[in-house]
């Protein structure tokens, strides 16, 4: 056995400063992955932005739906918000159990796959991926709507601003952030404080009877349709976007410092409390201040303007809201590529998605997310209300799958003998005497989230939910197709058990020339260096040029064969393909080795002036069995001296 040594030291990235490097930063080695952990205070900042930011639009969306019935029914927004707060409570309690069960991270994909199998796992994953995309679109659109509430001149540019923000986030994330943790704390707490102060001032004004009425809102409220149960449920469904993002902590337990699960659970409790208070508080104040849902001014803006009066505090509140919304979108830029990479690593998405770029981030996933969410923003003209019907169905489906997975898990635990330990792919099961009670908690969670998901799908179906209802099963189907493909390829490529590796076969060498020039000499020199028998082939598109080639050939290579293939249809490729196929038929047990040449320029603009016949030939020939294509590149440095086709024998070539 001959084993190669490692003569090559690992290549260090060059220190050359390129545009790419300025934009994306220097490459990081694999072992530079960050291992830092965070406490509860920073953890809240890191994981809460997605959940907390939904207060920026959830109340608006309830009012938009109720407005169809009429402003007289706006009082219903308060019980609806309380119902959503109750839903949040159920979710928090049942996810608390997931956090303790999966201390290494219990995202819906992992929990569903671990307990319910592949189909459930892929479904939960597809649902979450859909929702991550919408989180970006909705959060950015809402963020821009907040700024535009303060500066109405920006309103006509909302689509451009949204897409610009998404692209900026894409670049930041392609760079990767090593300093993720603490940088998130400042804006999150800034937002929290401004919101809580506003709510406190507002409630003080309510109690002292001095809360002003919102004025000057150009609302599109139509009203008069009358209240129906359907409308009431739809208002609830639209408002339930408030709870999106609460699952974030269960994905990131690993990021907390020890005791991980306990810290994560405590953080989740705090987050839910804050979210509930802010959401219900905003909704009550909006009702008391007679706020009106409007595309041109958000409820938060109306409240801040009314409570603080127009001025810096109003603008500051909106700035903080915009920032937290952008941060919420940004969490999707971390979560989406990571989840997609999980799918890809398991063979359910293209393998390229597992590729960590030079900055240790999943580059393809980031670019894809930016593209799709931008597309949605453009298609829906950056209107939050238009995007909402698509949103939250995915996350509620993943809630349901995850809770259902937990129910199955508790059932398994109940079957264990005490002291017995069961290892699954992603967790370890011990007997727990409280399994019945805990299973009941998760069962309630599963039923409640399932009902909410169904309400969402039905009440928002026509308004856009149908897209998601079709999309998620289509994604799952595609995932399984991809998985099947990779399994087939692995099976077909496997040489396990192969005994006979096959002996050498004859090779027919053909040199495909585009003229008798220096590049052709190089091609011919290469086959001559191989020391094999060969012949040349030329395609005659133009008869005069063909005659000239024949003449020069006879002058330079009087003893070698040149076949000129006629091409009356000016087709470069067809005659070659036909010729090669004839050779294949005549010599079925031989390789056909086609040697082509490519003239290479220093600059791609120069290259564009030359037809890339090599690529055309390769595409045409590669599917013919046993055809091997060799590309003899001929670099032409027009700024320097002509490159000599070959070095004279015994003398080294200039380099």
We find the least distance from the C-beta atom of residue 101 to a copy of itself, in angstroms, to be 29
Q: Of the candidates 91, 294, 358, 463, which one interacts with a copy of itself according to CB under 8 A?
A: 358
Q: Decide if residue 526 touches a copy of itself (CB under 8 A).
A: yes
Q: Which stretch binds a copy of itself (CB under 8 A): 135-143, 348-356, 383-391, 415-423?
A: 348-356
Question: Closer CB to a copy of itself, residue 174 or residue 280?
Answer: 174
Q: Decide if residue 178 touches a copy of itself (CB under 8 A).
A: no
Whether 616 contacts 629, CB under 8 Å: no
We find the least distance from the C-beta atom of residue 157 to a copy of itself, in angstroms, to be 17
Whether 58 contacts 293, CB under 8 Å: no
Spatial distance between the Cα atoms of 140 and 143, rounded to a whole number of angstroms: 5
Residues in the chain: 655
Question: Closer CB to a copy of itself, residue 216 or residue 640?
Answer: 640
Spatial distance between the Cα atoms of 599 and 488, rounded to a whole number of angstroms: 39
- Work out the number of other CB atoms within 10 angstroms of the CB of residue 123: 24
Whether 550 contacts 564, CB under 8 Å: yes
We find the least distance from the C-beta atom of residue 165 to a copy of itself, in angstroms, to be 24
Q: Of the candidates 254, 257, 424, 535, which one interacts with a copy of itself according to CB under 8 A?
A: 535
Q: Which residues pair with 380 in a beta bridge?
A: none
What residues contact residue 455 under an 8 Å CB cut-off, 6+ apart? 233, 236, 237
Q: Of the candidates 25, 27, 70, 164, which one interacts with a copy of itself according to CB under 8 A?
A: 27
We find the least distance from the C-beta atom of residue 639 to a copy of itself, in angstroms, to be 9
Cis preceding-peptide flag for 442 (omega within 30 of 0): no
Q: Which stretch binds a copy of itself (CB under 8 A): 143-151, 244-252, 402-410, 561-569?
A: 561-569
Residue position matching structure tokens 């390769």: 618
We find the least distance from the C-beta atom of residue 477 to a copy of itself, in angstroms, to be 14
Nearest to 429 by CA among 110, 102, 199: 102
What residues contact residue 274 under an 8 Å CB cut-off, 6+ apart? 48, 52, 192
Q: Which stretch binds a copy of itself (CB under 8 A): 122-130, 168-176, 322-330, 557-565?
A: 557-565
Nearest to 239 by CA among 129, 382, 108, 78: 78
Question: Closer CB to a copy of itself, residue 417 or residue 500?
Answer: 500
Q: Decide if residue 653 touches a copy of itself (CB under 8 A).
A: yes
Q: Decide if residue 609 touches a copy of itself (CB under 8 A).
A: yes
Q: Decide if residue 25 touches a copy of itself (CB under 8 A).
A: no
Residues between 106 and 135 with contacts to a copy of itself, criterion CB under 8 A? none
- For residue 628, give the H/E element and its range: strand 627-636
Question: Closer CB to a copy of itself, residue 420 or residue 606?
Answer: 606
Residues between 42 and 71 with contacts to a copy of itself, criterion CB under 8 A? none
Write out the DSSP string of 500-533. -------EEEEEE-SSSSHHHHHHHHHHHHHT--
Q: Decide if residue 33 touches a copy of itself (CB under 8 A).
A: no
Spatial distance between the Cα atoms of 77 and 63, rounded to a whole number of angstroms: 7
We find the least distance from the C-beta atom of residue 1 to a copy of itself, in angstroms, to be 5
Q: Of the candidates 36, 215, 424, 611, which one interacts with a copy of itself according to CB under 8 A?
A: 611
Question: Closer CB to a copy of itself, residue 2 or residue 208?
Answer: 2
Question: Closer CB to a copy of itself, residue 20 or residue 351?
Answer: 351
Q: Which stretch binds a copy of itself (CB under 8 A): 80-88, 188-196, 366-374, 615-623?
A: 615-623
Q: Decide if residue 350 touches a copy of itself (CB under 8 A).
A: yes
Residues between 476 and 515 with contacts to a copy of itself, criterion CB under 8 A? 482, 485-486, 488-489, 491-495, 498, 500-507, 515
We find the least distance from the C-beta atom of residue 581 to a copy of itself, in angstroms, to be 10
Q: For CA atoms 308, 313, 318, 324, give the dihedral sign.
A: negative
We find the least distance from the C-beta atom of residue 362 to a copy of itself, in angstroms, to be 12
Q: Decide if residue 604 touches a copy of itself (CB under 8 A).
A: no
Whether 295 contacts 220, CB under 8 Å: yes
Question: Closer CB to a copy of itself, residue 222 or residue 561?
Answer: 561
Residues between 618 and 647 with contacts to a copy of itself, criterion CB under 8 A? 618, 622-623, 625-633, 635-636, 638, 642-647
Question: Closer CB to a copy of itself, residue 219 or residue 567?
Answer: 567
**The Cα angle at residue 433 between residues 429 and 434, in degrees rounded to 5:** 95
Binding-site size for a copy of itself (CB under 8 A) equals: 118
Spatial distance between the Cα atoms of 565 and 512, rounded to a whole number of angstroms: 11
Q: How far is CA 251 from CA 51, 100, 107, 150, 472, in A?
A: 14, 12, 5, 35, 21
- For residue 583, give the H/E element and its range: helix 574-586
We find the least distance from the C-beta atom of residue 494 to a copy of itself, in angstroms, to be 7
Residue 12, judged by CB atoms within 10 A of its CB (0-12, 13-18, 19+), counts as exposed
Residues between 307 and 336 with contacts to a copy of itself, criterion CB under 8 A? none
- For residue 327, give the H/E element and its range: helix 312-345
Nearest to 579 by CA among 531, 512, 514: 512
Question: Closer CB to a copy of itself, residue 227 or residue 518?
Answer: 518
We find the least distance from the C-beta atom of residue 369 to a copy of itself, in angstroms, to be 18
Q: Which two tokens stand for residue 572?
A: 């470069």
Q: Decide if residue 548 touches a copy of itself (CB under 8 A).
A: no
Q: Decide if residue 367 touches a copy of itself (CB under 8 A).
A: no
Question: Closer CB to a copy of itself, residue 161 or residue 536?
Answer: 536
Q: For CA atoms 375, 378, 380, 383, give the dihedral sign.
A: positive
Write out the DSSP string of 202-240. HHHHHHTT-PPPP----------S---HHHHHHHHHHHG
Q: Of the candidates 258, 419, 423, 589, which one interacts with a copy of itself according to CB under 8 A?
A: 589
We find the least distance from the C-beta atom of residue 118 to a copy of itself, in angstroms, to be 18
Q: Of the candidates 20, 182, 351, 412, which one interacts with a copy of itself according to CB under 8 A?
A: 351
Q: Which two tokens stand for residue 191?
A: 């937002």
């Amino acid at each position: 056995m001959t084993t190669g040594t490692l003569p090559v030291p690992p290549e260090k990235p060059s220190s050359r400063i390129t545009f790419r490097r300025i934009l994306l930063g220097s490459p990081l080695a694999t072992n530079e992955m960050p291992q830092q952990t965070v406490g509860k205070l920073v953890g809240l900042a890191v994981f809460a932005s997605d959940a907390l930011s939904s207060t920026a639009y959830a109340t608006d969306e309830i009012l938009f739906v109720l407005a169809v019935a009429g402003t007289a029914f706006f009082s219903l927004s308060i019980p609806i918000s309380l119902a959503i707060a109750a839903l949040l409570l159920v979710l928090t309690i049942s996810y608390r159990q997931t956090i303790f069960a999966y201390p290494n991270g219990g995202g819906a994909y992992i929990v569903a796959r671990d307990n319910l199998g592949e189909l459930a796992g892929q479904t939960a994953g597809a649902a979450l991926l859909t929702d991550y995309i919408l989180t970006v679109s909705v959060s950015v659109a809402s963020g821009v709507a907040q700024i535009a509430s303060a500066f109405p001149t920006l309103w006509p540019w909302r689509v451009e601003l949204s897409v610009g923000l998404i692209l900026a986030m894409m670049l930041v994330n392609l760079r990767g952030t090593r300093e993720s943790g603490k940088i998130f704390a400042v804006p999150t707490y800034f937002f929290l404080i401004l919101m809580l102060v506003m709510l406190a001032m507002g409630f003080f004004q309510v109690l002292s009877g001095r809360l002003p009425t919102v004025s000057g809102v150009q609302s599109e409220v139509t009203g008069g349709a009358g209240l129906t149960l359907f409308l009431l449920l739809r208002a609830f469904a639209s408002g339930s976007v408030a709870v999106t993002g609460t699952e974030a902590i269960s994905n990131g337990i690993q990021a907390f410092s020890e005791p991980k699960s306990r810290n994560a659970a405590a953080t989740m409790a705090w987050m839910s409390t804050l979210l509930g208070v802010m959401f219900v508080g905003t909704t009550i104040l909006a009702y008391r201040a007679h706020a009106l849902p409007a595309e041109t001014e958000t409820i938060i803006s109306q409240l801040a303007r009314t409570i603080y009066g127009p001025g810096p505090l109003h603008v500051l509140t909106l700035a903080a809201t915009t920032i937290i919304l952008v941060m919420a979108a940004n969490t999707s830029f971390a979560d989406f590529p990571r989840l997609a990479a999980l799918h890809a690593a398991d063979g359910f998405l293209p393998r390229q998605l597992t590729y960590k770029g030079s900055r240790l981030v999943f580059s393809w996933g980031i670019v894809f997310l930016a593209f799709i969410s931008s597309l949605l923003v453009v298609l829906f003209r950056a209107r939050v209300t238009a995007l909402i019907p698509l949103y939250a169905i995915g996350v509620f489906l993943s809630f349901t799958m995850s809770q259902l997975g937990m129910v199955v898990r508790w059932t398994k635990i109940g079957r264990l003998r005490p002291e017995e330990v069961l290892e699954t792919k992603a967790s370890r099961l011990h007997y727990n005497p409280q399994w019945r009670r805990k299973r009941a908690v998760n069962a309630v969670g599963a039923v409640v989230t399932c009902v909410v998901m169904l309400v969402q799908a039905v009440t928002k179906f026509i308004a856009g939910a149908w897209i998601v209802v079709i999309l998620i099963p289509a994604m799952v189907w595609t995932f399984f197709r991809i998985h099947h493909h990779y399994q087939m390829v692995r099976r077909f490529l496997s040489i396990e058990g192969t005994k006979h590796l096959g002996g050498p076969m004859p090779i027919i060498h053909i040199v495909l020339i585009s003229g008798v020039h220096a590049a052709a000499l190089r091609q011919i020199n290469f086959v001559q260096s191989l020391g094999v028998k060969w012949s040349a082939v030329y395609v005659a598109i133009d008869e005069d040029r063909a005659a000239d080639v024949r003449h020069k050939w006879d002058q330079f290579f009087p003893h070698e064969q040149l076949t000129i293939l006629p091409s009356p249809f000016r087709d470069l490729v067809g005659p070659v393909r036909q010729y090669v196929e004839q050779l294949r038929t005549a010599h079925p047990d031989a390789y056909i080795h086609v040697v082509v040449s490519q003239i290479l320029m220093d600059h791609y603009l120069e290259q564009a002036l030359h037809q890339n016949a090599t690529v055309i030939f390769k595409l045409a020939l590669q599917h013919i069995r046993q055809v091997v294509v060799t590309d003899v590149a001929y670099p032409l440095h027009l700024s320097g001296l002509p490159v000599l086709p070959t070095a004279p024998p015994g003398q080294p070539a200039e380099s």
